[in-house]
Every structure is written in C-alpha cells, then in structure tokens.
Amino acid sequence: MAEPTPPWRALLTALSEIPVPVWGIRLVGILAIGLAFTIPTLAGLGGWVVYGGAVSDQPENLRPRLVWLPGGTFMMGSPEGVGDSDEHPQHEVTLTRFGICETEVTVRQYELVTGEKPSDCYYGCDDDHPVQTVSWEDSARYLNALTRLENRTRPEDPLTECYDEQTWAWDRRCTGYRLPTEAEWEYAARAGSTTAFHFGDDKHEICQYGNINDAQVNCTDNYSILAPVGSFKANAWGLYDMHGNVWEWTYDWYDSSFYEKSQSKDENPANKNTASDRTLRGGSFDFLPSFARSAVRFRFTPVFRYWIVGLRCVRGPSPQH
C-alpha cells in the first residue's frame, strides 16, 4: 500500500501551482511551511506523525516510554494456600535485562501505527485511553509495524521484527517490539514485591493503584469504565496500570500445568507449545480486585477481541539497546 503524501509535500505542490506573477505570495507560503514542518528527513518516519496537535518524530508518540529493567531472579506464582491452581507451584525464575512500556498502549498510539481504531469504543476511546478490542494477533501486527516505523529513525542500527505474521512464531533473537512473556510481565508487575499486589496484600488499597471493579472493596477508583493510562500511582519500578484497566496479552500459550513442567533453571522461560489460548495478565476495570493480583493468569483464544483486552509492549533481552 502506498504511504500517504506528507502534508508538507501536499502544501508545497499546491503552492507551486500559483501563477508566477504572485511569486511573493508563493515565497511567503513556502517560508510558512518551513516554520510549520521541519525538514522531512529529520522526522525519519517517511511522513509526519501528528500527535496532540503537533508534528513530532518522537518514538514515544507511537508507543509508551520504555522502562529498562535489570535482569534478576524472583519467585513466580503464588505460595501454597493462596490463589488458583494454575498459579502453583511457586517457582524461581531468572530473567535477563529487558525494556517494558510504562503504560498500556493507548488508542492514539495504536491508531498512529496501524491506521485503525478499536471497533468497540463503548467503554472509552479517547486518545489517552488504553487501546482495547484488540486480539493477540492484532497486537503482534502492531508491534511489528511499530518496529518498522521506529527503524526509520535509526537506519544505522535497525531493530528486527519479532513475529512471523503467517505462523505467528516468535524469533527469540529479535531486537524489536513484542509482547512480554508471562514471566517478564509478572516480574515487572511485582517490582521486587512478594505480596499479592505490588503495593501489599490489602485489596482495599487498590484504588490508589489501579482501575478495577471496586464493588467489593472499601474504596473507589472514581472510574466506572476505562481510565486514561497513567491515572493511578505507579509501582516501585515506575510502571502504571499493572493492576486493572485492561487485561494485557502476553506471548505465552496457556497451559494450566505449565508451572509444574517449567521448574528448570533456564533463563527467560516462555511456553512456546501451541495450545488453544494465549495468556493475559493484570485484570481489568470490569473485574474484581482478586483478578488483578500479580500472579493471576487469564486466557483467551489469540483471535479474540473484547473491550476488556489491550496490550503493553516490550523490547529485549538485548544488551546493546
């Protein structure tokens, strides 16, 4: 598909058709364009990204800001007597360094990259709401497209796409954008904590940290539907909305007994064995706080689109970036 004509070029073409006798007017127009639009090569995106009413080439307009997390070891899952059966056994996991976006991907960011908005916006479709009604496959396409767009700003050091859009296989050597693994998501959500939520075990405190169904807690988060991303307190590592707002896709295929099978000391574990569902994490505005615990695992088929489901992007592990 041909890329749209950048606005600076369309305006310049229109001005070039002005008759020669009014060259003075034409020159003023060209100078105005120079003030309104910087040289296109500086944008680096083969066009112009317009966000918040201004022209910008910043990658953060296409995705949330990346927070780079050091590698480490943590206890994944829930201790005995806590949580659901698929959260057991609790086991040690080691991860290498990776970057994760500080918020969920927004409606505006998704639209700028894909040219599409969610088909169901009943629960909130403002620019700063988390994108929702996106499938796992939609999410993977967005992340590949994001990688391609960002490469236009870094031609000397291009990122590589992570997903084969025919088979949906993940190239583990990739350096571009992708979904977090379950282990990466839980590590990032916990931010060093060992409690049910990153802020502690008391669910009545969750309204400070996330947008959930607060019918069973002694607090209110002041939102009955989706909240703009970043509306609540961040966790200790500066990540927002790890509890609630929308369920977030992860890479992993869902297997209720995966933890029983994956107690090796391998770094960066992920369930690559094809199944019927992919795993989601984090809870949503329409679910009770118990579903927003750091260890909770949820699942949907990868072509499923629903207004409680969105995504968060990751890069790495990649020591050079």
Arithmetic mean of pLDDT over the chain: 84
Whether residue 228 sits in one domain with residue 101 = yes
Whether residue 74 sits in one domain with residue 11 = no
Whether residue 245 sits in one domain with residue 152 = yes
CA–CA separation, 54 and 110 (whole Å): 17
Tokens of 112: 């700028």
CA–CA separation, 53 and 43 (whole Å): 16
Reported as a single tens digit per residue, the pLDDT across 185-232 is 999 999 999 999 999 999 999 999 999 999 889 999 999 999 999 999
- Residue 228 placed within a domain: yes
Whether residue 68 sits in one domain with residue 36 = no
Helix (H) or strand (E) holding 307: none
Question: What residue numbers bound the domain in which 111 lies?
Answer: 64-315
Q: Which of 284, 285, 283 is nearest to 225 (CA)?
A: 285
Tokens of 108: 């505006």
CA–CA separation, 190 and 242 (whole Å): 9
- Residue 259 placed within a domain: yes
Look at residue 266 in the predicted model and tell me its pLDDT.
74
Look at residue 44 in the predicted model and tell me its pLDDT.
32
- Residue 78 placed within a domain: yes
Reduce the DSSP state of residue 274 to 3 states and report it.
coil
Whether residue 192 sits in one domain with residue 102 = yes
pLDDT surpassing 90 at residue 173: yes
- Number of domains the chain contains: 2
CA–CA separation, 296 and 222 (whole Å): 24
Distance (Å) of CA 148 to CA 46, 142, 143, 166, 177: 11, 10, 9, 17, 10
Reduce the DSSP state of residue 183 to 3 states and report it.
helix
Whether residue 42 sits in one domain with residue 164 = no
- Residue 321 placed within a domain: no
- Residue 308 placed within a domain: yes
pLDDT surpassing 70 at residue 263: no
Q: What is the 3-state secondary structure (H, E, C) of 142-164?
A: HHHHHHHHHHCCCCCCCCCCCEC
Whether residue 234 sits in one domain with residue 192 = yes
* CATH number of the domain to which 308 belongs: 3.90.1580.10
- Residue 2 placed within a domain: no
- Residue 1 placed within a domain: no
CA–CA separation, 51 and 58 (whole Å): 10
Reduce the DSSP state of residue 178 to 3 states and report it.
strand
- Residue 20 placed within a domain: yes
Reported as a single tens digit per residue, the pLDDT across 138-161 is 999 999 999 999 999 999 999 999
CA–CA separation, 259 and 98 (whole Å): 22
pLDDT surpassing 50 at residue 320: no
Whether residue 143 sits in one domain with residue 37 = no
Whether residue 134 sits in one domain with residue 49 = no
Name the amino acid, one letter, at 254. Answer: Y
Whether residue 152 sits in one domain with residue 26 = no
pTM, rounded to two decimals: 0.82
Name the amino acid, one letter, at 120. Answer: D
Whether residue 92 sits in one domain with residue 46 = no
Whether residue 188 sits in one domain with residue 52 = no
